[in-house]
Amino acid sequence: MAATAALSTRLRNRRPALNAFRKAVTRKPGRLIGLGIILFFVLLAICGPWFYGSLAVDPNAIYAAPSADHWLGTDFAGSDVFQEVVVGARYVLSTAALAALFTSVLGITVGLLAGYHRGFLDSALMRVTDFVLTIPGLPLLIILSTVWSFGSPWQMGLVLGLTGWGGVARAVRSQALTLRERGFLEAARGLGLPSRHIIVKELLPNIAPYVAMHLLLSVIAFIGAEVGLFFLGLVPFSSTNWGVMLNQAVFSGGAMNSPDALVYLLSPLVCILLLTLGIVLFLDAIDELFNPRLRERA
């Protein structure tokens, strides 16, 4: 008994970050559900395509109702909808994740450098940011789709990310500007600590919750954007994904006026909604994850 207690304290001391994470997430059931949903979809995106390497097409069963063979029925070509949902998750999620990664890396770097150094660097970086903010993302994607097929999530993620980091940079910069005058940052400068240390170790952790929240919310926005593009048919259908499914359900299957394709329409929609719900539920835990003071109230 005593030994296990000692062991668990030792483990806790060794992994304070992990322990804080566990505490923050298990505090409220909503957060746990949120994390569960997110993990479920991530697993789906990673493992899904392993199970269904090639989609089973059954030409004899078009728009079949859900059954034991086809859990969510089939589509216009007789493909299994469940398999399509599972396989499509990878493209949707990896695109959103890549886009979020690009935005945050670029946005945080630019924002921190501009906010911390001020002066000429600040002005220069902010002009670039303003320029990026004025690039209209949607028309750019439409034009780019004449060149690229967007078959790989990298291309789509890159374009979404490169056009989307302006807002993050502005927000991070303003946070950095206010924190810059705080005593602990002045002290760090006074001690002569290198700028890199100050920015990465002192400044960044203080805006981390803010950035993380922004990141998760942008994942939702990016999913909406890419699925929207495919749904509207503005980019070529080069892979199986939820957007393509929506498009085909509405424009080829007539899901709006025939009940046959309803399940086909609803499956990707419900997935998007569930994922959004998961992210929103999990957001609640972010503040506590990064703020040692809130963490403690456990």
Partner 1 sequence: MIEARGITRTYASHGAFTGARTVQALRGVDFTLPAGGAVSFIGESGCGKTTLGKILTGLETFDGGELVVDGVELSRLKPRRRAEYFRRIQMIHQDPYSALNPTRPIEATLGAPLRMRARQTGADPAKWRERASELLTLVGLEPEAVLPKYPHQLSGGQRQRVVIARALTVDPQVLIADEAVSMIDVSMRLGILGLLRDLRSRLGISLVFITHDVATARYVGEGGELHVIYRGEVVERGLTDDVILTPVHPYTQCLLSAVPIMRGLEEPGPDRTAPTRALDERSPTPGCLFEPRCPFATEECFTTHPTLVPLDAGPASAARTGEAGAGTDTAANTDAETDTGAGTAEHQHACLHPQARRVVGVEIEVGAAST
Contacts 24+ apart (CB under 8 A), 174-180: 174/115, 175/111, 175/115, 175/206, 175/207, 175/210, 176/111, 176/112, 176/114, 176/115, 176/116, 176/203, 176/207, 177/115, 177/118, 179/203, 179/206, 179/207, 180/115, 180/116, 180/118
Instruction: State phi, psi for 74 to the nearest 5 degrees.
Output: -130, 170
Binding mask 193-222 for partner 1 (x = CB under 8 A): xx--x---xx--xx-x--------------
**189 belongs to the binding site for partner 1 (CB under 8 A):** yes
**10 belongs to the binding site for partner 1 (CB under 8 A):** no
Nearest approach in angstroms of CB 197 to partner 1 is 6
| Binding test (CB under 8 A) with partner 1, winner from 68, 183, 196, 257 | 183
Taken in order 212, 99, 92, 217, the sign of the CA dihedral is positive
**19 belongs to the binding site for partner 1 (CB under 8 A):** no
Span from 2-10, 36-44, 177-185, 271-279 in contact with partner 1 (CB under 8 A): 177-185
Question: Which amino acid is residue 282, in one-letter code?
Answer: F
Span from 63-71, 152-160, 217-225, 286-294 in contact with partner 1 (CB under 8 A): 286-294
Residue closer to partner 1, measured from CB, 167 or 209: 209
**Beta carbons of 263 and 72 less than 8 angstroms apart:** yes
* Site size with partner 1, rule: CB under 8 A: 22
**118 belongs to the binding site for partner 1 (CB under 8 A):** no
Instruction: State phi, psi for 79 to the nearest 5 degrees.
Output: -75, 150
Nearest approach in angstroms of CB 295 to partner 1 is 9
List interacting residues with partner 1 (CB under 8 A).
182-184, 186-187, 189-194, 197, 201-202, 205-206, 208, 290-293, 296
